[in-house]
Structure 1
């Protein structure tokens, strides 16, 4: 990055620092971010706890859901509080370690989240379009989870290298009394603008556009396949269950895409034409876009958990610490949320000890689940 660019950024920062947020605006940011942190932490932690606590819930889809929740928890713990503090203050006071770690964690968390959504879509695509073919087991999902975190770390490494804590941009400002001389800011310092633009544009394509396009394509093919089976005899319960679960899974994808769209547009505009962003409204626009993106951390427990009656009952029984025998008479969903079979074969279902519908099988990874694999009727 050239000295002229650095000086322009410092001067621009000085101008924007004069536009301090109002008391009402600061209060709104604190309340809004606090609500997102509370809902994201409690909801995702509860979802992970219930999935890990119950052996019968540890199937492929739920393991990936828990992975998605873990990435959201990490975002709530590390990124959101730091963003609030840095936005409301006129300097960086959190040290060099957080200056490097915060953008690294945010990039890694987003990567893990979007790759988890891709894996869920691919698993359901394989199950419904190729039910007699290969299907992943729980052990495969743990391997996939590890790979998502490794890939996320690798993609986010540049932030550890090029995010620095410095006051150099303010040393050459010509003011009678320079109030910014001792201020520290956390900024990206790339070897050149070309390197920065290449990296941020690659993130936009491979971390947002292409994964979402692949996910939407998978669910489109699933929708077409299920629609073709409307006239089959077994569609009344089994296919309706599959369609409802797929709608829930697609809802989280669409919500994730909409939540992160404003921030991606803001970052792209800032990278390619930052002069278009007004000085005094820069922080307000960024805060609105970032808060919308962070709201995605609350969607997972709502869609996968609190909109699913089986999860609600499991949550209540967990909180009440009831014994298995006292839960046997509860009325769970009538359609199977986790069924495994093949073309031309209809497997009988039975009630497990939790009262939900499952397919008797010696394999634990295909036992009853909160949200899992549902086979359509025979074509």
Structure 2
């Protein structure tokens, strides 16, 4: 379901010579370059900063934050490999980047999206376990590293067909009936499947198991979490911990909703192309694809924006980190932890609950939860 080329519709068209040529306008090309450049800059800098801070602070290495960092790593990979290649291919309307990138680019995009959606599922499952079953089994940091490794292995396996069936060819340009064919030496990167049935089976499976089913599972988890926290709020009458847990889950759910909305247009576009590509207008095909693909790539900016730059604690920690780089190491800060996973639960001692992975770190003089806090808020300056 991850077509990286705006001329994909022409790859399988038997009447290539009759297809109208629609070169991109100067304004459209300029907009694409600027828009993709902004997405790449925000995605790279934001996600790299988020991963750096989580990796640097020992107090932040809980299950949810490790999975958030994994989500950021997949977005970084997307920004480095897929976005620049897509811009070049879109603007040049032919492939000039070699056979290796022809195979690797769609493979990396599929793998990155798979890792992202699986990370969101794991975060939702962890929150579901900690809030609905606070006295039961809870995942540890070691479990999250194992889950991250398995996620990448499964994503690689799911994406392997792109390595096998993506080829570099000039065949579509050979039959153009022109006195001097200027496109004869042009190459395109295309999928060449044994049959249309194989292609449709694979792309439809991706749509179901890589987008629809995971998002349904995530939304079901957060629905049950919301219902449980609402009952606890009724019992505890606006408990501070309950309000903090609700804010954390709202932030995590916002990441999921934004991810789903960003990828929805491209999934609709690809589904329409797979099943009825004649419905796509010829000269508007490039523009529609670029708009859908750009919207999908904007998902790489969601994590740092929602998790980080709307979180005042993240901003303070980022400033502190930059100051440490200039002035050397300063004395570490002290933290107190209390669990959001056991909010309002009966019969759970503080000593038991402090070992759980849903805790929030708070600078020691005062116990506050930032409105943008996540599973473990980032430390504020003393």
TM-score by shorter chain over 0.5: yes
Alignment length (residue pairs): 377
TM-score (norm 1): 0.86
Using the TM superposition, give the Cα deviation of residue 307 of structure 1 relative to its aligned residue in structure 2, in angstroms: 1.5
Q: Deviations over 1:286-315 (max 9, x none)?
A: 000000000000000011111222212111
3-state SS in 2 of match to 1:256: helix
| Between 42-51 and 9-18, the greater mean CA deviation after superposition | 9-18
Q: Deviations over 1:223-259 (max 9, x none)?
A: 0000111233374210000000000000000000000
Q: Find the aligned partners of 1:115 and 1:298 in 2 and give their Cα distance.
A: 18
CA contact (8 A) 1:36 1:298 kept: yes
- What's the CA shift for 1:170? 1.9
CA contact (8 A) 2:255 2:302 kept: yes
2:189 corresponds to 1:209: no
SS where residue 226 of structure 1 aligns?
Answer: helix
Mean Cα displacement is larger for which, 356-365 or 165-174? Answer: 356-365
Q: Which residue of 2 aligns with 1:251?
A: 254
SS in 1 for 2:381: coil
Q: Is the 8 A contact 1:132 1:343 kept in 2?
A: no
CA distance in 2, matches of 1:305, 1:151: 28
1:258 and 1:174 map into 2 onto residues whose CA distance is: 43
- Give the superposition deviation at 1:18: 1.8
Q: Does the 8 A contact of 1:11 with 1:173 survive in 2?
A: no
Q: Deviations over 1:335-378 (max 9, x none)?
A: 97687996323528999999996499999999999632799999
Q: Work out the CA distance in 2 between the residues paired with 1:300 and 1:342.
A: 30
3-state secondary structure, aligned to 1:10: coil
Q: Does the 8 Å CA contact 2:241/2:343 hold for their aligned counterparts?
A: no
Task: Report the Cα distance in structure 2 between the residues aligned to 1:2 and 1:39, rounded to whole angstroms.
Answer: 22
1:205 counterpart SS class = helix
Q: Gaps spanning 5+ residues in structure 1: where?
A: none
Alignment-derived partner of residue 326 in structure 1: 329
Query: Contact conserved, 1:341 with 1:347, CA < 8 A, in 2?
Result: no
CA contact (8 A) 1:330 1:355 kept: no
5+ long unaligned stretches in structure 2 = 6-10
Q: Determine which of 162, 176, 179 is the counterpart of 1:176.
A: 179
Q: 1:118 to 1:364 in 2, by over 3 A?
A: farther
TM-score, with length taken from structure 2: 0.86
In structure 1, which of residues 286, 289, 298 is the aligned counterpart of residue 289 of structure 2?
A: 286
Structure 1's 317 and 353: CA in aligned 2 closer, same or farther, altered over 3 A? farther
Change (3 A) 1:375 1:234: farther
Q: Distance in 2 between matches of 1:9 and 1:268?
A: 16
- 8 Å contact 1:58–1:369 — kept in the other structure? no
Q: Deviations over 1:197-216 (max 9, x none)?
A: 00000000000000000000
